[in-house]
């Protein structure tokens, strides 16, 4: 029996099992088994050498956004409108067969937009190049899920289910669970919050399913069984996702209003070029990019070419800003002067741990090199004699 057949068999058993207090331990074990099998499904086959077939796209710019959706929902048209890069669009499905990149120039930054082939139900099992599409989307900063506004809401649930099956968690934060394997000592179970979904017995059963008998686990929130399995697996990626409803020109205004009020959703029309500026603003807000402008000493700030930082990639502190310019710059920094929303007064003297915000201006003050016999122009010691009597007497003034 193959892995896919085993997963379907366990899913069928979960569907016919009643959910109550008596069966929650059994359902927890079944969920752990499915998670293990799905992890095996993503691993490359044994004996295979070299990299698998995928999309070769070099990372470029300050951020990467992936377009995911069913065939013929308007992904290629959206890429052409936003970036100017031509991506073939036609009235038949699967027009795009490979990954087509484009660059969005927005707010002095460059954002890479990837048009991926449409995915279908069963993509997590490898149908229709689904694995390659999902692998590229894992390397992105955010995902734009393009949906057809005239179709049913089930499309969104199908796509979310396919992405969650391969370890992508959309618009979720990592669970507050501390987990560490040990060599000896058994399982140490603790919690700092009251638990309603998981108890000690269920936690032990799930850990034994993974053949973990020595570990330390601490719950800092009321987490579910799925959260615990995600932490044990350790290969989950938590990403932001924007749901883009295209083709709003073919539905009524009441339906458009209903879709627009959903969280993390934007309604657009590529045909009539409606609401594209709102989509770009929402995308910029979700990516959380921080532009920092440099100011040389004694000169005006340079507002043409900002240093772009991101909390998700490297961080937004002064130290991260210095590393972005050059790795060796951090050890030469004495302090920095900051103007902008992150400063309490202008300019503010800051250290390396200060967190910068969007459109801040930074001036770096370096340490001065030590001269022979003193620091800078102020000497730390004098060459004159220590005793007053040994000093040379000046000649008397002529009167």
Which tens digit of pLDDT belongs to each residue from 82-117?
Answer: 988 877 765 555 666 678 888 999 988 999 998 888
CA angle 218, 216, 138 (to 5 degrees): 75
Q: Which of 74-88, 312-326, 377-391 has the lowest mean pLDDT?
A: 377-391
With 60 as the cut, is the pLDDT of residue 47 above it?
Answer: no
Per-residue pLDDT band for 16 (boundaries 50, 70, 90) equals confident
With 90 as the cut, is the pLDDT of residue 12 above it?
Answer: no
For residues 99 and 341, give the distance between their C-alpha atoms in angstroms, rounded to a whole number.
39
Residue of 248, 192, 254 whose CA lies nearest to 223: 192
389 or 169, which is more confident: 169
Mean pLDDT value across the chain: 84
Which tens digit of pLDDT belongs to each residue from 266-318?
Answer: 999 988 988 999 999 999 999 989 999 999 988 999 898 899 998 888 889 99
Predicted TM-score (pTM) of this structure: 0.80
With 70 as the cut, is the pLDDT of residue 380 above it?
Answer: no
361 or 393, which is more confident: 361
With 80 as the cut, is the pLDDT of residue 257 above it?
Answer: yes
- pLDDT attached to residue 216: 93
- pLDDT attached to residue 243: 94
Per-residue pLDDT band for 382 (boundaries 50, 70, 90) equals low
With 60 as the cut, is the pLDDT of residue 159 above it?
Answer: yes
With 80 as the cut, is the pLDDT of residue 393 above it?
Answer: no
Which tens digit of pLDDT belongs to each residue from 20-30?
Answer: 877 888 888 88
DSSP E strands: which ranges in the chain? 63-69, 100-106, 109-115, 142-148, 168-170, 177-181, 187-191, 215-219, 237-246, 265-267, 289-294, 302-310, 333-339, 348-350, 360-366
6 or 308, which is more confident: 308
Mean pLDDT throughout 205-214? 90
* Distance from the first to the final alpha carbon of the chain: 117
CA distances for 153 relative to 156, 208, 245, 262, 394, angstroms:
6, 39, 11, 12, 98
40 or 266, which is more confident: 266
- pLDDT attached to residue 53: 52
For residues 108 and 118, give the distance between their C-alpha atoms in angstroms, rounded to a whole number.
31
- pLDDT attached to residue 154: 83
Which tens digit of pLDDT belongs to each residue from 320-356?
Answer: 999 999 888 999 999 999 999 999 998 999 999 999 9
């Amino acid at each position: 029996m193959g892995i896919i057949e085993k997963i379907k068999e366990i899913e069928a058993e979960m569907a016919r099992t009643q959910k109550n207090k008596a069966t929650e331990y059994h359902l927890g074990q079944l969920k752990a088994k499915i998670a293990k099998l799905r992890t095996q499904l993503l691993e490359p086959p044994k004996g295979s050498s070299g990299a698998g077939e995928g999309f070769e796209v070099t990372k470029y710019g300050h951020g990467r956004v992936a377009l995911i959706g069913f065939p013929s929902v308007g992904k290629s048209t959206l890429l052409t409108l936003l970036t100017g890069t031509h991506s073939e669009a036609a009235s038949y499905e699967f027009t795009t067969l490979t990954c087509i990149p484009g660059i969005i120039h927005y707010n002095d930054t460059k954002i890479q937009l990837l048009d991926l082939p449409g995915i279908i139900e069963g993509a997590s099992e490898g149908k229709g190049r689904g694995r390659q599409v999902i692998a590229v989307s894992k390397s992105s900063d955010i995902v734009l899920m393009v949906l057809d506004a005239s179709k049913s809401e089930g499309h969104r649930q199908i796509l979310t289910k396919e992405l969650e099956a391969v370890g992508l968690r959309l618009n979720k934060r990592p669970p507050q669970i501390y987990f560490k394997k040990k060599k000896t000592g058994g399982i140490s179970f603790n919690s700092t919050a009251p638990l309603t979904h998981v108890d000690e017995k269920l936690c032990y059963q799930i850990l034994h399913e993974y053949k973990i008998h020595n570990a330390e686990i601490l719950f800092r929130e009321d987490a579910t069984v799925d959260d615990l399995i995600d932490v044990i697996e350790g290969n989950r990626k938590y990403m932001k996702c924007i749901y883009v409803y295209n083709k709003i020109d073919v539905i009524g205004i009441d339906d458009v209003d209903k879709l627009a009020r959903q969280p993390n959703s934007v309604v657009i029309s590529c045909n009539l070029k409606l609401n594209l500026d709102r989509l770009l603003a929402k995308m910029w807000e979700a990516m959380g990019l921080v532009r920092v402008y440099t100011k040389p000493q004694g000169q005006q700030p340079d507002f043409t070419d900002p240093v772009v930082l991101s909390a998700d990639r490297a961080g937004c502190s002064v130290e991260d800003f210095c590393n972005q310019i050059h790795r060796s710059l951090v050890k030469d920094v004495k302090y920095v002067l900051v103007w902008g929303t992150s400063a309490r007064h202008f300019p503010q003297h800051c250290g390396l741990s200060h967190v910068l915000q969007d459109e801040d201006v930074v001036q770096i003050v370096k340490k001065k090199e030590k001269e022979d016999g003193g620091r800078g122009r102020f000497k730390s010691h004098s060459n004159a004699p220590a005793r007053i009597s040994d000093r040379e007497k000046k000649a008397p003034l002529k009167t």
